[in-house]
Chains A and B, each alone.
Chain A
Amino acid sequence: DAKTTQPNSMESNEEEPVHLPCNHSTISGTDYIHWYRQLPSQGPEYVIHGLTSNVNNRMASLAIAEDRKSSTLILHRATLRDAAVYYCILRVLHGSSNTGKLIFGQGTTLQVKP
């Protein structure tokens, strides 16, 4: 199964941008790059996803390398509520159906300091 590699932990100051890196050197052409985050005692929450081009939404931006072997999640202004485990995930299609499965890595624990 395709795998991702992330730093175990990162720290940020409140109100500053955060860049969370991810390596996925074994990614295949049909794998989408997804980011989810998990707050304590909650289920994972969708953040953003992309295939080849950079993506922006109200929560974050996703920068994807040209060779697709790495990506970076960008939180433009970290808040205390952004403290969570951030998972960089490859969504792998299963067989010929459109059913995909998320292959989770170990995630990055983000601490935000006031």
Chain B
Amino acid sequence: DTAVSQTPKYLVTQMGNDKSIKCEQNLGHDTMYWYKQDSKKFLKIMFSYNNKELIINETVPNRFSPKSPDKAHLNLHINSLELGDSAVYFCASSQPPTVDFGQGTRLTVV
């Protein structure tokens, strides 16, 4: 069974649309994250939740809204998509000190 699973794996959408990416972990971890990897392969943290509570918000535009219905899930909703949002988004979970990443969702905005 996949430890951290994201859906969908690929997402192609038009500018201005609203989309969501779902993430689930079956590791029993308390902390979950969203990371963004841009075209230059830089990985940057966006958000972190600990037991459904927002802990880290790295000055991400408020078009991005994470939602954690329970500690096993952390979904990412993006409003009014822009071309610059095209990237690979990774969900991750952690029981310190290590972090387990999902396989990523490649978002392409056209």
Q: How many A-B residue pairs have CB under 8 A?
A: 59
In the assembled complex, the CB of A27 is this many whole angstroms from the nearest CB of chain B, namely 15
B6 to chain A, nearest CB (A): 9
A95 — which chain B residues lie within 8 A by C-beta?
A: 55
CB <8 Å contact, B45 and A44: no
Q: Is the CB of B97 within 8 A of A49?
A: yes
SS class of chain A's interface: helix, strand, loop or mixed? strand
User: A85 contacts the other chain (Cβ, under 8 Å)?
Assistant: yes
Is A102 engaged at the interface, CB distance under 8 Å to the other chain?
Answer: yes
Number of interface residues of B (CB under 8 A): 25
What chain A residues lie within 8 Å of B4 (beta carbons)? 43
* B55-A99 in contact (CB<8A): yes
How does the 8 Å CB contact mask read for B67-100 relative to A, with 1 for contact and 0 for none?
0000000000000000000000010101011111
A49-B98, A100-B96, A100-B97 known; A44 vs B90 contact (CB < 8 Å): yes
A100 surroundings in chain B (CB, below 8 A): 94, 96-97
Query: Chain B residues in contact with chain A, CB under 8 A?
Result: 4, 31, 33, 40-45, 48, 50, 55-56, 90, 92, 94, 96-104
